[in-house]
Amino acid sequence: MISLPKKSATVILLRKSGSDFEVFLLRRHEKSSFMGGNYVFPGGRVDRGDGSLETCQLSKGLTLEQAYQMFGGVLSPEESLAHWMAAIRELFEEAGILLAYDEKDVLFQPKTLEDRRRLEAQRNLLQKGERTICQIASEMGLSFALDQLHYYAHWITPEARPLRFDTRFFLAHYPEGQETSLDQKETIAEVWLTPKQSLEENFRGKVALSPPTLQILEDLSRYGRLEDVFGSLKERVITPVLPVLVNLGEEVLIFPWDPEYEMFERGEIPSTINHGKPSTPDDKTSRLVLRDGIWYPFCRPSL
């Protein structure tokens, strides 16, 4: 029986690094039930309260109708907006970054050591379930900065997996004055790397990337500057990506643009297995092969 995917939201946090740009990655605990040991972007499930009236009243920069339209009308306005709110909440819980506006509509940043300690204390209460994100915002005089999140991608876990997620990915600028930090619970390491560096480290087996993370980093590696990434958003067409997972003696993940995707989707196995050539950042990876805990990218030529 195929399990239904849970709604989730993830943030691709970016910052300038000289003439290039870097991406923030967290390593999930080895014992995590999903993507254990892999490096991923901060994110998690959409909770029921993420689309509440209270959340909407404390949010700025995006209306229910705008969120509904951005998702193509496939979810209700409340469910759509809840993804933006879940992304903000999960980014704060997992990375310690809070995308919010102060009472002067300026992007929030702690100004003193005491401010940072207060923010971390609020985060700890949120993680323990002793405080909601709305209570934190109200007490600190903040509004959630939904317009700081830019819808970028939509991935769905393969049907062969028992634990599945229907995930929306958002881009965000790293806010000045804030500092990333581990949640000391689900994540055990953090790193800032350029997209190309992350792909190289995955190939070396140093930074094991999850499949969606790897593919998104490959997309980002084609941009020379941070401004180019955000400048491309107006032209971007977002469609759901549902890979097919097959076992060919080793696990292989087939992307929809792979020339053999429809064959594998029907449950057919080709008589000859040809993964093509190992991908370079200039290629468009069409499948991943899992070897010793690392997903290696391959580019399958057209039939």
Quick: pLDDT tens for 65-94: 999 999 999 999 999 999 999 999 999 999
Asked if 160 and 56 sit in the same domain, the reply is yes
Place of tokens 């995308």: 99
Residue 24's nearest CA partner among 153, 237, 195, 234 is: 195
89-93, 115-119, 219-223: segment of lowest average pLDDT:
115-119
Answer whether residue 291 is part of any domain: yes
98 in the same domain as 229: yes
pLDDT at position 130 is 92
The verdict on 215 and 287 lying in the same domain is no
Average pLDDT over residues 224-238: 93
Question: Residue 194 belongs to a domain with what CATH number?
Answer: 3.90.79.10
Lookup: tokens for 76: 């209700």
- Does the pLDDT value for residue 167 go beyond 90? yes
Q: Which residue has the tokens 């899992």?
A: 290
Cβ–Cβ < 8 Å for 89, 50: yes
Tokens standing for 168?
A: 């929306």
175 lies in the same domain as 216: yes
Whether this prediction's pTM lies above 0.85 is answered by yes
Average confidence (pLDDT) over 222-242: 94
Specify if 249 maps to a domain: yes
49 domain residue, yes or no: yes
What percent of the chain shows pLDDT beyond 90?
A: 71
Same domain? For 174 and 254 the reply is no
Domain closes at, from 195, 216, 235: 235
33, pLDDT greater than 80: no
Interval 263-291: pLDDT, tens: 999 999 988 899 999 998 788 899 999 99
pLDDT of residue 97: 95
Q: Print the domain residue range for 34.
A: 6-235
The number of folded domains in the chain is: 2
Give the domain-ending residue among 213, 235, 257: 235
Alpha-carbon distances, residue 226 vs 14, 108, 199, 221 (angstroms): 8, 21, 18, 11
Same domain membership, residue 117 and residue 249? no
Choice among 27-31, 111-115, 210-214, 274-278 with the minimum mean pLDDT: 27-31
- Among 202, 218, 235, give the residue marking a domain's end: 235
Average pLDDT of the segment spanning 16-40: 82
For the residues 242-247, what does the mean pLDDT come to? 96
**Range 170-196 average pLDDT:** 89
Res 3: pLDDT: 87
Judge whether 1 lies within some domain. Answer: no
pLDDT in tens, 149-164: 999 999 999 998 989 9
Identify the pLDDT of residue 153: 97
Mean pLDDT of all residues in 189-218: 94
Chain-centre distance for alpha carbon 68? 20
- Cα distance between residue 140 and residue 219, in whole Å: 37
